[in-house]
Amino acid sequence: QVQLVESGGGLVQAGDSLRLSCAASGGTFSSYAMAWFRQAPGKEREFIGGSGGSTRYADSVKGRFTISRDNAKNTMYLQMNSLKPEDTAVYYCAAVRGMSVVRVRSSYQYWGQGTQVTVSS
């Protein structure tokens, strides 16, 4: 059983940067594809990007957000730059066994509890 814990959320102003972390335990971290999703109030949970055999991003964050992972620390990161008010959401990390990063929420076996990111204008 894999446990995921996100951290690093907070309240920032538009244009600021923020880095989220996702710490994993209970599994062989390098054996899992990891992803970030976010869910804004009243909206579906959406794929932001992920890291496995390759790194993928949603078009909405490409060029502003960067995903990295440190397998030695069992941690994945989400560096968010040039934040916009529309980036306001609860951010979740997710994991699935294997190396394929997929955009489909239901494909992921394990989820963190989420961390709130609020971007003020």
Give the phi and the psi of residue 77 in degrees, each rounded to 5: -125, 155
C-alpha 5/C-alpha 82 separation (Å) is 24
Strands 89-97 and 115-120: antiparallel
DSSP state of 106: G
Written as tens digits, the pLDDT of the chain (121 aa) is 899 999 999 999 999 999 999 999 998 999 999 999 999 999 999 999 999 989 999 999 999 999 999 999 999 999 999 999 999 999 999 999 998 999 999 999 999 999 999 999 9
Please choose, from the candidates 75, 109, 86, 95, the residue with its C-alpha nearest in 3D space to the C-alpha of residue 39: 86
